[in-house]
Amino acid sequence: MDARVTVPAIRSHKVADGGAPLVMVTAYDTPSARMVDEAGADLILVGDSLGMVVLGHDNTLGVGVPELAHHTAAVARASPRALLVADMPWLSYHRDRGDTVGNAGVLVRAGAAAVKLEGGRSRVSMVEALTDAQIPVMGHLGLTPQSVHVMGGFRVQAREEETAAALVDDARALVDAGAFAIVIEGVPAEVAAEVTGAVAVPTIGIGAGRHCDGQVLVFHDLLGLQDQLAPRFVRRYAELKAEGVKALAAFASDVRSGAFPTDTESYHRSRPGG
């Protein structure tokens, strides 16, 4: 079996140095983690997208540390080769450094090797506190879903020169504070390319074009398990919701017609003397 993916291996992985782009996919439970790991992903993210794609919320603000820890533990039970990163949910790293380290510790104890948090220069003190506590941190810049109300919706960010320059400064600040990788979401491809060139750690894009050091997609989007949102950056590699509904309807039809279960799908009494 291949050795597990480590934080130092990810930290030094840049496409400009000849590395293949990193692959990160979200997972929220043991079977999805097994699938992502068997597919050969480098990183598994237990994202707070959990709230939207699994728990039925309209945004990511409805989940807290207990939910993230519960699902991180389920993913960890798959014992993946991929590096397991857990999202720090909204308000779990905004109050003070002690609270932030405590919350991240819960996720690490649940099985995460690293945590991800949203925001740039305003988060430097928290990133330093986590790094100081030996908890590796992945940053997340651009369209940061926990800021949905401030952004006025899930909108592409850093389209103007000034906001693009601020994004590059944010990325540098996160790396200086100790971040080992940065997710860049929902920004123009040119801006993501600039960030990628400006920092020594890998950038992992989602809706940020091809010039990042890796790409991430949400499990349910990639596999077509949800059909409510269809952002342009999602490529659906399967239509599993439609397939699943078809299979479930076939089961319902077989039950109603008496075609399921058959004799061979049933247990029978032992034969006397058998």
CB of 147 vs ligand KIV, minimal distance in Å: 12
Q: Is 87 in the site for ligand KIV (CB under 6 A)?
A: yes
CB of 144 vs ligand KIV, minimal distance in Å: 9
Interacting residue with ligand KIV among 82, 183, 187, 222 (CB under 6 A) = 183
- Measure the CA dihedral 62/228/86/100, to 10°: -30
| Binding segment (CB under 6 A) for ligand KIV, from list 40-48, 101-109, 131-139, 230-238 | 40-48
CB of 148 vs ligand KIV, minimal distance in Å: 12
Which pair of structure tokens corresponds to residue 175?
């790396």
Q: Kindly report the three-state secondary structure assignment for every residue of 20-62.
A: CCEEEEECCCHHHHHHHHHCCCCEEEECCCHHHHCCCCCCHHH
Interacting residue with ligand KIV among 138, 175, 181, 218 (CB under 6 A) = 218
Our CB check for ligand KIV shows the closer of 26 and 32 to be 26
Q: Is 206 in the site for ligand KIV (CB under 6 A)?
A: yes
Q: Is 47 in the site for ligand KIV (CB under 6 A)?
A: yes
Q: Kindly name the residue from 128, 185, 239, 243 that is annotated as catalytic.
A: 185
Q: How many CA atoms, within 13 angstroms, populate the side-chain half-sphere of residue 238?
A: 10
Our CB check for ligand KIV shows the closer of 192 and 216 to be 216
> Distance between CA 49 and CA 187 in Å, rounded?
18
Phi/psi region, residue 263 (left: phi>0; alpha: psi -120 to 50; beta: rest), is alpha
Interacting residue with ligand KIV among 26, 92, 157, 203 (CB under 6 A) = 26
CB of 131 vs ligand KIV, minimal distance in Å: 20
Our CB check for ligand KIV shows the closer of 1 and 230 to be 230
- Measure the CA dihedral 185/217/90/197, to 10°: -30
Nearest to 181, CA basis, from 211, 132, 227, 141: 141
194 belongs to the catalytic site: no
Our CB check for ligand KIV shows the closer of 229 and 247 to be 229
Nearest to 182, CA basis, from 13, 4, 6: 13
Our CB check for ligand KIV shows the closer of 31 and 246 to be 31
CB of 257 vs ligand KIV, minimal distance in Å: 41
> Distance between CA 208 and CA 168 in Å, rounded?
14
> Distance between CA 70 and CA 76 in Å, rounded?
10
> Distance between CA 185 and CA 224 in Å, rounded?
20
Q: Is 49 in the site for ligand KIV (CB under 6 A)?
A: yes
CB of 48 vs ligand KIV, minimal distance in Å: 5
12, 164, 192, 231 from 9: Cα distances, Å: 6, 28, 22, 31
Phi/psi region, residue 90 (left: phi>0; alpha: psi -120 to 50; beta: rest), is beta
Q: Is 83 in the site for ligand KIV (CB under 6 A)?
A: no
Question: Under the rule (CB under 6 A), what is the footprint of ligand KIV?
Answer: 26, 45, 47-49, 87, 183, 185, 206, 216, 218
Catalytically active residues, by annotation: 185
